[in-house]
Structure 1
Amino acid sequence: MPESKGRDKKAAAYTAPTKSKSAQPNPTWWAPTFVTLLILGLLWIVVYYVTEYRYPVSALGPWNLGVGFVLLMAGFIMTMRWR
Structure 2
Amino acid sequence: MPKSRNDRKKKAVYTPPPTSEKPKISPRWLAPAMVAFGVLGILWIGVYYLAGGMVPYMRDLEDWNLAIGFGGIIIAVILSTRWH
Q: TM-score band (shorter)?
A: 0.5 to 0.7
Give 5+ residue unaligned stretches, structure 2: 1-16
Distance in 1 separating the partners of 2:36 and 2:26: 16
Q: Relative CO higher for 1 or 2, CA cutoff 8 Å, sep ≥ 6? A: 2
Q: CA RMSD in A?
A: 2.1
TM-score (norm. length: structure 2): 0.67
Alpha-carbon offset, residue 48 of structure 1:
0.3
Percent sequence identity over aligned pairs: 33
Counting matched residue pairs gives 67
**CA displacement 1:34-53 (0-9 Å, x = unmatched):** 00000000000000000144
Alignment map for 1:3-14 (pairs within 5 Å): none
| Secondary structure, counterpart of 2:27 in structure 1 | coil
| Secondary structure, counterpart of 1:81 in structure 2 | coil
Structure 1 residue ranges, 4+ long, deviating more than 3 angstroms after superposition: 15-18, 52-56
Distance in 2 separating the partners of 1:67 and 1:52: 13
Structure 1 range deviating more: 55-64 or 35-44: 55-64
In the alignment, which residue of structure 2 is the partner of 1:66? 67
Distance in 2 separating the partners of 1:39 and 1:32: 10
Aligned residues of 2:52 and 2:58 also touching (Cα < 8 A) = no
Distance in 1 separating the partners of 2:80 and 2:52: 31
Distance in 1 separating the partners of 2:25 and 2:59: 41
Distance in 2 separating the partners of 1:52 and 1:35: 23
